[in-house]
Structure 1
Amino acid sequence: MSDFVLAAASYEKQKYFLEPKFQTLPESIQEELQIICVTTAQKLGCTFLMGFREDGEVYFETVKREKDINFDEIGAELEVKEIIRVHKDLIASLKVWFTIFFTKEGEELKDELLKKGEK
């Protein structure tokens, strides 16, 4: 199964990345993703990624620096759970958006809707 990185931020490099193929998301959603990624990376002192699993499920990942022995794994896990709780509507919307535009099931659904619209 493949994963697709949606957005990422690095505390160490002070950089933010949004995958170009996902830049069709509305500007307000892109801004919200940037805020989530950057603030989480800063708070945890790591690289923080948001992405999609092949089935459209949204995932979160924290990547610590190799020599960072002070990284708080439990705190990072709690932070991700808080993001999921606070942004559950955004996450659900992202899953639907990805499923419709980037999966085989979404293509079939669009084709079916287009056929119904032609009748």
Structure 2
Amino acid sequence: MSKMSGRKEKEMRGENQGQKQANIVLCGANAYEQKYYFNETFQGIPQSIKDELHIICVLFTEEIGGIFTIAFEPDGNVVMETNFAEDDYLYDEIGSGLMVREISRNRQEMFESLSLYYRVFVLHEKLDLD
């Protein structure tokens, strides 16, 4: 899958006008366009994590369909979001929820590390090591 560009990329980054405190997309995949997007703002994330995120996103859209994104909430929490076209009768809504929970459970440590990365390098929070 190749990278997205243009308006869709801006939408995925949460750059729509009028939105305040929108989630910032880290990465996502689109089954309809067969594309993968990684937000280069986060290029400091280790390559092994980037590769794992790529695999998660692409496998999700291959199995479930639709559009799958992993994003940061304004406070740094990591969220997974999935959307689908109204006329997509092949999209698996039940499987979507199950797979999101499975990914959350199996990758909890990675998501906690990504949240810490965001809070330290983007929000510039001080680490309390006590």
Fold similarity call, TM over 0.5: yes
What is the DSSP-based 3-state SS (H/G/I as helix, E as strand, rest coil) of the residue aligned with 1:2?
A: coil
* Matched position secondary structure for 1:29: helix
1:43 counterpart = 2:63: yes
Tell me, what secondary structure is at the counterpart of 1:77?
helix
Instruction: Please report how far the alpha carbon of residue 66 of structure 1 lies from its aligned counterpart in structure 2 after TM superposition.
Output: 2.5
The match for 2:113 is 93
Structure 2 regions of 5+ residues with no counterpart? 1-20
Cα distance in 2 for partners of 1:14, 1:71 equals 15
Q: Is the 8 A contact 2:65 2:90 kept in 1?
A: no
Match of 1:28 in 2: 48
Q: 1:54 pairs with 55, 74, 79, which one?
A: 74
Aligned length: 109
Residue equivalent to 1:64: 84
Distance 1:59 1:26 in 2: 19
Whether 1:4 aligns to 2:24 is: yes
* Cα distance in 2 between the residues matched to 1:38 and 1:13: 12
Please identify the structure whose Cα radius of gyration is greater: 1
| Paired residue type of 1:61 | E
Distance 1:94 1:39 in 2: 20
CA distance in 2, matches of 1:40, 1:48: 7
Q: CA deviation at 1:73?
A: 1.9
Q: Helix, strand or coil for the counterpart of 1:65?
A: coil
Identity level (%): 37
Question: How many Å apart are 1:70 and its aligned residue?
Answer: 4.0
Q: Which runs of 4+ in 1 moved over 6 A?
A: none
Separation in 2, partners of 1:74, 1:11: 17
CA displacement, residues 39-96 of structure 1 (integer Å, 9 cap, x when unaligned): 0011111111000000001000111123113423222111100000110110110010
**Which TM-score applies when normalising by structure 1?**
0.84
Identify which of 38, 50, 53 aligns with 1:18. 38
